[in-house]
Amino acid sequence: MAALERNGQSENTLLVFTSDNGSPGRDGTNMLGAINSVKRFGHHPSYIYQGIKADIWDGGHRIPFVARWPERIAAGATSQEAICLVDLMATVAEILGVDLPENVGEDSYNILPALCGENLSEPIREAIVHHSIDGTFAIRQRKWKMIQGVGSGGWTKSEKPPLEIEGQLYDMDDDPREEENLWSQQSEIVQQLGRLLVKYQTQGRSRPT
């Protein structure tokens, strides 16, 4: 920031603060570290979210995203738009006036309208796909998050669910901690999200051509 100010570029530069995904936890069972060596000092790196790095839950994926661009972004503005770091490619391309080829940035969306505070009638992204270290896939569409598998899919050890439960479905508006699995109660949502995930996997992309 100081370098931008010294060179008179602080007002017309897009500055983004973000991070890598997930804390390693360091709870004595994974990634070394003494038992509760992080939480012992009152630090909860995943905040309210379940899971750690490598997991399919939001504690392994959700990250901060702060943008500063005085010429385009209002100070103090916030957005509930669901975005992904891969969206930076399409966004920067839009800023530079570059058209991405169809085989470049297949999962990248231009999020400039959200950054600039435009009123959006529909979400920019149809859905967001992510997966855990063992390859467990999840898809998030608006408030629903469907996970194709049980447990963390990563480093966090969890109790085995009943045999009839094949996956996980969470209402992320009401249950951001991913504690109440609605897989059995919302079968239509499970099937709908499952079809969308298969579509993306078959196409090899989520952004429309």
Closest CA to 123 of 146, 102, 144, 152: 144
Record: fold of 128-203: Arylsulfatase, C-terminal domain (3.30.1120)
d(CA 147, CA 81): 21
Q: Could you tell me the residue ranges of all domains in the chain? A: 128-203
* pTM of the predicted model as reported, rounded to 2 decimal places: 0.89
Burial class (CB in 10 A: 0-12, 13-18, 19+), 152: buried
Residue 133 vs residues 110, 137, 152, 155: alpha-carbon distances, Å: 27, 10, 10, 8
- Report mean pLDDT in 10-residue bins for the chain, 209 residues: 94 94 68 62 84 93 95 94 96 97 96 95 96 96 97 84 83 97 97 98 94
The pLDDT assigned to 180 comes to: 96
